A and B are shown apart, each in its own frame.
Chain A
Amino acid sequence: MLERLTSAIAANRFGLGARPGDLDAIGSHSRDWLRAQLESAPPRLDDRQLRPSSEILVEALDLRREIQAQRRAEAAGDDTAAFTKLPQLLRPIYTEEATVRFRQAVLTDRPFVERITQFWTNHFAVSVDKNLLLGLAGSLEREAIRPNILGHFGDLLLAVEQHPAMLLYLDNHLSIGPNSKAAQNRARQHAERKSGINENLARETLELHTLGVGGGYTQTDVTSYAEVITGWSIGGDPGRHMRGEPGKFVFRPEFHEPGPKVVLGKRYPDTGYDQGVAVLRDLANHHSTARFIATKLARHFIADDPPEKAVERIAQAYTRSGGHLPAVYNALIDSPDAWTQPLAKYKTPSDYIVSSFRGLQVPLDTVHSPLASFELLGQRAYSPGSPAGWPDRSADWDGASALMKRVEWADAVGQKLGTRRDAAELAPQLLGETLTGTTRAAIAHAASGAQAVTLLLAAPEFMRR
């Protein structure tokens, strides 16, 4: 009894949804099954088709310069062709990135690690509706997040804040200290165009990536930290300031605001690039960061309004280990609250789709466009629309229309697979002890195999995790 409950929680809440046979394999070793997934290096993606962000970026920036030159040449002429060139370059990259990631989620034997990856991607959210992010969002996850999720938070943070995708998304690559060399040069050339900082990345780093909104920083800290990271930019572009490797992170001393700065009451001497690294290290070790991350993890893995005891346990593990993430995840696994309220979380559309594919073993080579499902159900890949990422509470996802779409989608899956899947046999394998008598009976009495599959996917216990 209890074994079938904890294994269902392990596979469905901590993982990405049980596959047939998973619950039996987990047996009475739910916690060990999760811990074991943390023990080796993060799994690699099947990324043979994917290119480094620097290559993508160089190509995109070259194309953009070409388009701009063409526009200038044609003055107010028809630039429709130029307008579509960038998406033509970037959209296939986006599709490939999102598809590879989806395959990984459906096929992985370490679904807990994959869910953790998705958690961090959402924590450090970028959205493809801005600038060149269509071609870069996937690479942020692949290059900065994935390799660091089983290490220290400080390293993860540093990798993300200097990834070109994040610098572009939050506009830091062009932020210039008002007293920097670049600002002085520009003032001599264009009196009306004053150089200065852009505080977007600085604010969101404090608010969304580390301390959290109530974490004890002020507008002065935002401005000051924005000055600290002036010069955190991208190599090659823009034009005259050639420096560093094209498309890769570069520190531009000529953009950097000189002098010592005070952030959160601590004075940081001007050590150039290292000034920003020093602030990030301190932010990673701040108690507000520990609380903020613990709260978000507990919200994701336990309940919308997570119990204080669990948050405290996770925050303590964070602080004691100096932000060593496996220690943090283990504290989560060890929180009794994670195991006592089954089905406390309403699945996001992504959870719902991935768990359906895993549970029904939908053969991926027969799927024409898996990404269309995400769009239909309201969670287009890498498109949360804001740096806060997708919301993580039931009320954000359980709308009437959203439910109707899930049920219609379940019906479409049922129509497609029904005769080849035995829902009555699958239901206990996917849901374990969370399967109710009502659902079992509804599946047993279904009018067809297709309808039985629809009812399994539409069941209240399959809508949640």
Chain B
Amino acid sequence: MRATPNFLTPQAPPMKRRDFLTAGSLAAGGALLTSRLSFANTATNGKSRFVFIILRGALDGLAAVPPYGDRDYPALRRDLAMQANNVLTLNDTFGLHPSLAFLSESYGAHELVVFHAIASPYRERSHFDGQDVLESGLIRAHASQSGWLNRALESAPAGRISNKELGVALGQNVPLVMRGSAAVTSWSPSKLAALDEDTLERITDLYAGDPLLAARLAEALAADAIADSPLSADGGAAMLGASTTATAAGRSPNKTGGAARYTEVIHAAAEFLRREAGPKVAVFDTTGWDTHANEGAAQGQLASRLAALDAGLRMLKEQLGPVWNDTAVLLATEFGRTAAINGTRGTDHGTATAAFLLGGAVKGGRVLTDWPGLSSRSLYQGRDLMPTLDLRSVLKGVMQEHLQVPARALDSTVFPDSAAAKALTGLMRT
């Protein structure tokens, strides 16, 4: 006897095979986190894990990583400028925003590299084209239906992972960066009851003549199979512990509603990545970084979003357990924001920004930047932080050293027209 889900009549939600996810937190509130998480199984040595987190909306790199030691910085940010005593110090020039406590600890533990004055090749100021370039890996927007990460996976050496478990999808749909011919899928928690075997079989038959739906259904079933498979002796306990951990991570649930919204997606990411036979690469995106007005400084709108992100990353580390040592997490955004604050105590669309590479596999404790300075002469078009590091150099370095993607593939199919952006090596522990 199956329960009927409660979208038509009020009743308790049914038990389902995907109950290992803590339910409920996504239902409330807005779309800070769009909760799209997609995975791919990469054919590497079977150990390395990679997580790519897209910060949609253009993260203010000068607020996330304030150059508090730059002499032109206070005048640009005026009363929103942060000072040595309220940043989490990285070195004499840079600090982390005070909300980024976990990142600060990771920096101290040599597990975080901070990149600054970094940008994709995109030089206009449209979010949507900027995100397209960030994800496609091309130099122009809307020039490709596939993403660089998918093409990188396609080029990764064949490994020990059986084809049967290729590609599992988390989150309802696959973002552009993961789309392409390498097998990937999407997965997200379901509050609906699972189909019975007979109905599922009939639908499978119904889709036999429809290549798209047949493939998607098969991918979804593969994802469910991995999600349902027993993890290890301690798996059950770890799953039960998840919601507690999440609450602890989001210390003030009312103020950092975003933290609660990360819970499901981070938890799901960890569940998949922890599995030996599961996917090795995950992508998800977060939104809410478009801080045009009342951005705040040490406290405020951006501060609470950064705190939620930081808490989510801490939770990811905790839940990955020993697998964290094989993991690299890259956080990037489509572009930065204006160097000066605007008339509404926020920042408009800019160019260069900050990015982060985090994880147990990362050779961290470093700020990598060719700092251009913030004098009016050194600003890009007189208004934005000047880009001096190509994001593709970082992506290439990580793909090459962490996922063993051959350099010639990175220079050709993965990042076409990227000759000028040489792979930045030495980012990973070896």
Contacts and interface: CB of A to CB of B under 8 A. Distances in A.
Interface of A: 80, 83-84, 127-130, 134, 170-171, 174-176, 178, 183, 192-200, 203, 207, 213, 219, 222, 366-370, 372-373, 375-378, 380, 383, 385-386, 388, 394-405, 407-409, 411-413, 415-416, 436, 438-439, 442, 446-447, 451, 454-455, 458-460, 463
A463 B172 contact: no
A213 B129 contact: yes
Given A401-B187, A401-B220, A404-B220, A415 B4 contact: yes
Contacts of B430: none
15 contacts: A129-B288, A178-B343, A200-B292, A375-B27, A377-B172, A386-B287, A398-B173, A399-B216, A400-B174, A407-B203, A408-B194, A415-B2, A416-B4, A446-B202, A451-B202
Contact of B186 (A84, A401, A408): A401
Contact of B190 (A394, A400, A408): A408
Given A401-B169, A438-B206, A407 B195 contact: yes
A400 B186 contact: yes
B223 A171 contact: no
B342 to A, nearest CB: 5
Interface of B: 2, 4-10, 27, 29-32, 34, 38, 56-57, 78-79, 124-129, 141, 145, 169-174, 176, 179, 185-188, 190-195, 198-199, 202-203, 205-210, 212-213, 216-217, 219-220, 223-224, 254-255, 287-288, 290, 292-293, 342-346, 348-349, 381
A373 B7 contact: yes
A302 B10 CA distance: 39
A123 to B, nearest CB: 13
Contacts of A447: 198
A463 B213 contact: yes
B78 A193 contact: yes
Contacts of B129: 213
A262 to B, nearest CB: 18
B10 A368 contact: yes
A210 B315 CA distance: 43
Contacts of B219: 400
Contacts of A459: 206
Nearest to A402: B172
B188 A401 contact: yes
B343 A197 contact: yes
B267 to A, nearest CB: 15
Nearest to A213: B126
Given A194-B78, A207-B126, A446-B202, 6 more contacts: A194-B343, A368-B6, A385-B31, A401-B173, A402-B186, A458-B206
Contacts of A375: 27
A203 B349 contact: yes
A86 B125 CA distance: 33
Nearest to A370: B7
Q: Which 6 residue pairs spanning A and B have beta carbons closest together?
A: A129-B30, A196-B343, A399-B173, A400-B219, A399-B186, A408-B192
Contact of A400 (B57, B79, B169, B193): B169
A366 B10 CA distance: 11
B164 to A, nearest CB: 16
Contacts of A398: 173, 212, 216
A219 B172 contact: no
